[in-house]
Structure 1
Amino acid sequence: MSLKAATRILLATTLGCLPELASALPEPVDLVSGDDYPPFAGSTLSEGGVLTQMVRQAFATGGQSARVEFKPWARGYEETLRLEYDATFPYLSTPRRASSFLFSDPLYELNLRLYVRSDSTWKTGTPEELSDATFCLPTGYEVSGWVRLASDRLAFVRPRSMEQCHAMLQLGRVDVLISNPDELAWQAVPPMLTPRNVRKLPEPLDDVSLHLIIPRDHPRAQQLMDAFNHGLQQLVDSGARDRLFRANQDYRRSLEADR
């Protein structure tokens, strides 16, 4: 166990024995996210991305401040699992992850779809048609739908970022891009990645949701999750969540690009 994780456990134990001090001096939660998931999370995005902004506000609603760092997805995930961070986001729920993490209420609903070049010969997006296609999905992104079920029989390229997947699609190095309309529209702003160069296949892939996740081994896992979910629900009930999305410039940019 790292010194950082051990310190966190000791502090949680100490504050648990001193409820008045814990109430008066809430320790900021340490969060980590990936650095290349527009418009949702990233160090170069406004407010760190719309979901980073929402996660901070959900914790703040319960009087809990949050510090957020951005790291490569796999590194942030593993360091959170080792309790070097209190939580990480945004992640899809999978059985493997659920065995190690608690999952928050949904942060955002995604409609995952398959995209090809506009001049591609692929037409439907069915498993039968795409059995010989090469798929692109960045490292750290979870494969979903029938593609996950058939993943051992399919060809994949897993670069560092979605931007690289777009570039490889345009260059003909991959056949199919797995994405969602929000992310696709944001990435489609650069000239060579205009929506006119990308076509969505009609067969849906999967409808999923993104979550904040907390290690089950965290000494305050359920306490933190309950507080976060309560704050998130208050944002939803008050309309603050919708206002946050409407006001976030990167999220608005993705909507405008998708029109």
Structure 2
Amino acid sequence: MHTFLRQPLLGLLLSLLLAPGLALGAGAEAPATGEPGEAAAPLQLCLSEFAPFNASGLSEGGPLGRIAVQAFARAGIRAELRFMPWARVIKEAEAAQCLIAGLWRNEARDQLYAYAGPYYQVELGYFTLKSLPRPAEPLSRAQASRICVQRGAYLPAALQEHQSLLQMNLDLSGCLRMLATGRVDTAFGARAAGQHYLDSAAGRDLGGSIAWRGPALELKDHMLAIRKTHPQREALIQAFNRGLAQLRADGSYQRLLSAGGLSGP
């Protein structure tokens, strides 16, 4: 009696396991529905080296990189950071191959991108030799002030109007070196980034002669940017903002900033 019942039951169980649409193991994938987070590959977040905010040499990509990844994780989306030169970040994002984990808005960018966040605010302004005053405002050619800026970096209107005063360098650390040797009068950049370099082993020899000159010339919101043509734009924006709100609410956001040496609001 028991043997007779067991055979049909075993056949029924096998037929259910082999039916289309039922998962057969941990590696099986659900059919795509267009919802973010369901794709097998992780969501790509493109960014460039920008210590102490983001850097491939920092733990988990740096504090702002960790915040971006964890905000998506709270919404059930697996994301990963991809570090690359800034020109390639823009190229990949414009092709909707990735999201930009940290973009500062301007009129031209607003034509191309939609945004989530902000998830940090960056102070932009001047570094000078401690023996020199902060540049007077508004700038004028009469001052003949030589200002070093990073090539391709965001420039406030106050600097865009005086291109003849600007000298380019590959990065802010190079500008600080130019400042220390008297090749420029001022270096423009992010306060935290400049101070991070001055406090590092590479820039410690400059720390005694260079200082940040507040107040900030401009405060820029650090946004997650997504191409307006991206097919999952609205869903991804909502997911990120929802996850970011959760990180803020339970204190994780502030802990991530503090662990990376950044101050928060």
Query: What is the deviation of 1:203?
Result: 5.5
What is the 5 A alignment of 1:1-259? 15-16=32-33, 27-35=41-49, 37-85=50-98, 87-120=99-132, 122-128=133-139, 131-148=143-160, 150-152=161-163, 154-189=164-199, 190-194=203-207, 196-202=208-214, 204-248=216-260, 251=261
Q: Which amino acid aligns with 1:238?
A: D
* Cα contact 2:47–2:86 (8 A) shared by 1: yes
| Per-residue Cα deviation, 1:181-200 (whole angstroms, up to 9, x for no partner) | 32222111232221x31133
Q: Which amino acid aligns with 2:136?
A: G
| Per-residue Cα deviation, 1:177-235 (whole angstroms, up to 9, x for no partner) | 112332222111232221x3113335541122111100111111111111111111111
Relative distance call for 1:24 and 1:191 in structure 2 (3 A) is: closer
Q: CA RMSD in A?
A: 2.3
Q: Following the alignment from structure 1 to structure 2, what is the Cα–Cα distance between the partners of residues 24 and 55? A: 18
Q: Following the alignment from structure 2 to structure 1, what is the Cα–Cα distance between the partners of residues 234 and 210? A: 43
TM-score by length of 1: 0.80
Q: Following the alignment from structure 2 to structure 1, what is the Cα–Cα distance between the partners of residues 134 and 62? A: 34
Relative distance call for 1:215 and 1:25 in structure 2 (3 A) is: closer
Could you say which structure has the larger radius of gyration?
2
Structure 1: which 5+ runs fail to align? 1-13
For the residue of structure 1 that corresponds to 2:33, the secondary structure is helix
Q: Following the alignment from structure 1 to structure 2, what is the Cα–Cα distance between the partners of residues 114 and 216? A: 34
Structure (1 or 2) with the greater helix fraction: 1
Relative distance call for 1:26 and 1:133 in structure 2 (3 A) is: same
* Cα contact 1:136–1:156 (8 A) shared by 2: yes
Quick check: 202-211 or 42-51, which moved more? 202-211
Structure 2: which 5+ runs fail to align? 1-30
Query: What is the deviation of 1:140?
Result: 3.2
* Cα contact 2:52–2:62 (8 A) shared by 1: yes
For the residue of structure 2 that corresponds to 1:44, the secondary structure is coil
* Cα contact 2:140–2:162 (8 A) shared by 1: no
Aligned length: 229
